[in-house]
Amino acid sequence: MVHRPLLDGDVPAAVRALKAADGGELQVHGSIGLVQTLLAEDLVDELRTVVFPVVLGRGKRLFEGGAAPRTWRTVSSEVTTTGAVMSAHRRDGEVATGAFGLEYEDASSV
């Protein structure tokens, strides 16, 4: 049996074409390399992750290697009976920069 990739050639271009066509949602299961490519090309609208409370070593990093800085909004989160955390995050625009600490009008009142 010969296994052929579902996307040949320029993967980001193929995904852009699929997103532009009518049809259902596109999903990636178990290919961190493809997810990293799609993140770098700004082609991910929603991330659904499952984090298990187990440490098996170094593991693979989801946002390694060129993920574009983006803001994500958590739209759902659930902890399973085994302690795994399932969550969904949707794109929420560009990263806004600014202060993250408490700001007071009168610094002497701190």
Residues 48-94 have pLDDT tens digits of 999 999 888 887 788 877 777 889 999 999 999 999 999 999 999 88
Mean pLDDT of 18-39: 86
**Which stretches within 1-110 are classed as H helix?**
11-20, 32-40
Please give the DSSP secondary-structure letter assigned to residue 40: H
pLDDT tops 80 at residue 34: yes
Q: d(Cα 31, Cα 9) in Å, to the nearest integer?
A: 17
Task: Give me the DSSP letters along 49-65.
Answer: EEE-S---SS---TT-S
pLDDT tops 90 at residue 27: no
pLDDT confidence of residue 88: 97
Mean pLDDT of 3-29: 82
